[in-house]
Amino acid sequence: MLPATIPIFPLPNVVLFPGVFLPLHIFEPRYKEMLQEAIKTDRIIGMVLLKPGFEADYEGRPPIYPVGCAGLVSRVDEVERGRYNIVLHGFEKFRVLREEPDGAFRRAEVETLPEALDSEAKERLKDERIKLEALLLPTKGGTDATFPSSLPDDDLVNALSQYLNLLPVERQALLERDNALDRCRGLIELVEMQSMAMRLPNAKGVH
């Protein structure tokens, strides 16, 4: 369960998902202050995506999408000139209810958005995972390529949602899905659209 208020780290092209690790480079003074406070307290930082048009007010408080994912700072390395390389481990999705108006960095009152699946939904997710793997790793030379079977279904879906070649707004839409089953179905739709676009005459890529 998340605290009622957490620091939020808005970026224009990064979406964090539960169960996934995210490396970040911290160099702006306000976010170095945010990191220091997180390390001294519960090590929680909430990642949120900036809405388009943020450039005009980047140094201020440009609009963000209301759904984000909180991560635990699992590693911190100080590098040159007081900058930091950190690793966040996503663990809880949240919705921003209200932002605090003051402070060197942004804070928000949030509510947790649980993603637990019942046993029936977990079984459906296994079937959807097979469909997703078939799209991403087609059989070549008679050998079936697969993702590690030891990787839990929801972790695989979340990792692919974070690291496949998708637009930030597409990742955000996947994050906002209700759970890993719904997210997997959305990811399948996106991969199928990419594949279809690549087969069109004169197609040079989706993005």
Say what angle helices 119-136 and 153-163 make with each other, to 10 degrees.
40
Q: So what's the pLDDT on residue 143?
A: 45
| Total count of domains within the chain | 2
| Token output for 196 | 């279809």
Q: So what's the pLDDT on residue 30?
A: 93
Q: So what's the pLDDT on residue 141?
A: 44
Question: Does residue 149 sit within a domain?
Answer: yes
Q: Which of 77, 93, 112 is the last residue of a domain?
A: 112
pLDDT tens-digit readout, 12-50: 999 999 999 999 999 999 999 999 999 999 999 999 999
Domain hosting 74: range is 5-112
Q: In this predicted model, which residue has the larger pLDDT, 5 or 57?
A: 5
- Three-state secondary-structure class, residue 12: coil
| Token output for 28 | 């702006």
Question: Does residue 204 sit within a domain?
Answer: no
**Same domain for 106 and 132?**
no
pLDDT tens-digit readout, 154-178: 999 999 999 999 999 999 999 999 9
Q: In this predicted model, which residue has the larger pLDDT, 181 or 150?
A: 181
In 3D, which of 78, 83, 116, 93 has the Cα closest to residue 6?
93
* Non-local CB neighbours of 137 within 8 Å, separated by 6+ positions: 144, 145, 146, 147
Query: What is the DSSP track for 39-100?
Result: HHTT-EEEEEEBPTTGGGGTTS---B-SEEEEEEEEEEEE-GGG-EEEEEEEEEEEEEEEE-
Q: So what's the pLDDT on residue 60?
A: 75
pLDDT tens-digit readout, 81-96: 889 999 999 999 999 9
Buried b (16+ CB within 10 A) or exposed e, 63-101: ebbebbbbbebeeeeeeeeeebebebbbebbbebeebee
**Same domain for 169 and 127?**
yes
**Same domain for 50 and 126?**
no
Q: What is the dihedral of CA 73, 75, 79, 82, to 10 degrees?
A: 30
Q: Which of 78, 112, 146 is the last residue of a domain?
A: 112
Q: Look-up: residue for tokens 């100080």?
A: 78
Residues 117, 181: contact at Cβ < 8 Å? yes
Q: Which of 94, 112, 130 is the last residue of a domain?
A: 112
**Separation between Cα atoms, residue 60 and residue 40, nearest integer Å:** 25
Say what angle helices 180-199 and 119-136 make with each other, to 10 degrees.
20
Q: So what's the pLDDT on residue 140?
A: 46
Question: What's the CATH code of the domain at 74?
Answer: 2.30.130.40
Q: So what's the pLDDT on residue 102?
A: 87
Q: In this predicted model, which residue has the larger pLDDT, 141 or 10?
A: 10
Task: State percent of the chain over pLDDT 70.
Answer: 91
